[in-house]
């Protein structure tokens, strides 16, 4: 699996956030739950761009992270939601093919197999995210892009 490389300008997202951990697979319950809750409230955001959703991952340490189910929007965050600025960055973009429940395998490949051999360096000022667009399906035909910020 080879990534494509994209320069993406700064953009703002608004959505629902959870704090979770990879310890004991807790994120596998927390992230789907925040998506279910967000999809119930998505209509509260008036200025959605492109109908694309994002799963934003902001690492706090090796295991713990903030996960935001969100859309790109210029709107202020409604009560109970958060906004986050995703700074401009160059990205290595990996396309996960198959059920979204197995997306962790693509994340693992990007960080533990591809990155160490690539000669690329993580942009620690960047934020990684999943991009869910018209290719998203709840079956094996799903395609979801993973954006890994690099220098």
**Could you report the per-residue pLDDT of 92-133, keeping only the tens digit for each?**
999 999 999 899 999 999 999 999 999 999 998 889 999 999
Q: Which helix (H) or strand (E) holds 91?
A: strand 89-97
Nearest to 48 by CA among 71, 23, 19: 71
Query: CA-CA distances (angstroms) from residue 145 to 52, 81, 125?
Result: 11, 24, 20
> Across the strands, what pairs with 83?
14
Write down the H helix ranges in 11-151.
27-41, 103-108, 115-118
pLDDT digits (tens, 9 = 90+) for 28-48: 899 999 999 999 999 898 777
Mean pLDDT score of the chain:
93
Residue range 4-150 forms a domain whose CATH class is alpha beta
Domain spans of the chain, in order of start: 4-150
The β-bridge relationship of strands 89-97 and 64-73 is unpaired
């Amino acid at each position: 699996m080879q990534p494509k490389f994209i320069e993406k300008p700064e953009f703002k997202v608004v959505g629902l956030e959870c704090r979770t951990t990879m310890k004991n697979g807790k994120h596998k319950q927390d992230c789907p739950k925040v998506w279910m809750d967000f999809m119930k409230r998505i209509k509260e955001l008036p200025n959605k761009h492109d109908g694309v959703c994002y799963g934003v991952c902001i690492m706090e340490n090796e295991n713990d992270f903030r996960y935001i189910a969100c859309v790109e929007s210029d709107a202020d965050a409604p009560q109970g939601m958060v906004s986050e600025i995703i700074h401009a960055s160059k990205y290595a973009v990996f396309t996960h093919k198959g059920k979204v429940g197995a997306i962790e395998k693509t994340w693992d490949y990007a960080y533990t197999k591809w990155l160490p051999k690539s000669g690329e360096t993580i942009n620690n000022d960047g934020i990684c995210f999943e991009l869910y667009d018209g290719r998203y399906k709840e079956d094996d035909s799903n395609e979801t892009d993973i954006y890994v910020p690099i220098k």
